Structure 1
Amino acid sequence: MSDLIIKLADYQEDFPKIEEIRRIVFQEGQGVDPDLDFDGDDEISEQLIAYLDNEAVGTARIRYLNDKTAKIERLAVLPIARGQGIGKKIMEKALLVIASKNIPEVVLHAQEYVKGLHQQLGFQEEGEVFEEAGIRHVKMKKYLNC
């Protein structure tokens, strides 16, 4: 892989790039309504951004539900950068950030077709498949050793 950097985003500097990635992946690629994607929680969440050879190619956000649970949301990698393990590396970075805050539980709503990625990282399915934004999802949970 080329030069990959995944970092906590500077909201002012990086959010326009995050918006662009999510627009391409979710709105154009999957037909998600922008109002569902940009739900008002971005400013209260930590954002991760992945740069491959100095180009923004991926993102995810971490929202803290309480002092014991974090939720990873909006994992997105541009089509041109897929197949290189970037999504997995973004998730690994998110888990490190959460663990550094001593948050023991991580949840996510995985799109059904990528649940295998999350299972590789130790997430377990919980409950039945459900629809969110017209896309099949499954709730997944992982406990961290904090």
Structure 2
Amino acid sequence: MDQLQIEQVNYAKEKININNIRTLVFQIEQGVTPELEFDGQDETAIHLLAYCAQKPVGTLRIRHIDPKTVKIERLAVLQSARHQGIGKKLLQKALDIAQNELKIEKVIVNAQEYIKKLYDHFGFQQFGDSFFEAGILHIKMIKQFPPF
């Protein structure tokens, strides 16, 4: 994991890199349709990009649900860069932004069931039963921050 950098980026400027990662991970690997993956909400979201040796290898977005709540979505790391902690570092950066910059009280994720332990590690709690989203088993998870 040489020279890992995680940056908050402008979607319009980094759209190609972000969309390439998401296309490879969600569409090609997991079979998610383009209509579901690219839902028209990227332009208003906050985007993070992870770079390893200056090459984009991971991404996620943070989307406001209401003034006190955000949803972290589209966490994706290229297959060649997995198992190096990049997803954890992206998630930690997103949580830092949510709590310290946006002053958010609640973060929601619809986690793919197989990666639930990642979110457990960061203090998310499971809410409700598993459900299918884009044909993939998910679980709703929520993390609460103390109110400001």
Q: Which range, TM-score by smaller chain? A: over 0.9
Structure 2 residue 140 is the aligned partner of structure 1 residue 139: yes
Alpha-carbon shift at residue 31 of structure 1 (Å): 0.3
1:123-134 aligned at under 5 Å gives the runs 123-134=124-135
The aligned runs of 1:2-21 (5 Å cut-off) are 2-21=2-21
Deviation per CA, 1:101-136: give whole Å up to 9, x if none.
Answer: 111100010000000000001101000000000000
TM-score (norm 1): 0.98
Partner of 1:117: 118
Query: TM-score of the superposition, structure 2-length normalised?
Result: 0.96
Q: What is the CA-CA distance between 1:144 and the residue it aligns to?
A: 1.6
Query: Helix, strand or coil: the match of 1:92?
Result: helix
Is 1:37 the equivalent of 2:37?
yes
CA distance in 2, matches of 1:59, 1:82: 12
Q: Aligned partners of 1:66 and 1:16: how far apart in 2?
A: 28
Q: What does residue range 101-116 of structure 1 map to in structure 2 within 5 Å?
A: 101-116=102-117
Give 1:60-139 correspondences, 5 Å limit: 60-99=60-99, 100-139=101-140
C-alpha separation in 2, matches of 1:135 and 1:63 = 21
Residues in 1 aligned to 2:93 and 2:121: alpha-carbon distance in whole angstroms:
14
Aligned CA-pair RMSD: 0.8
- Structure 1, unaligned runs of 5 or more: none
Find the residue that maps to 2:36 and give its secondary structure: helix
Give aligned-pair identity as a percent. Answer: 49
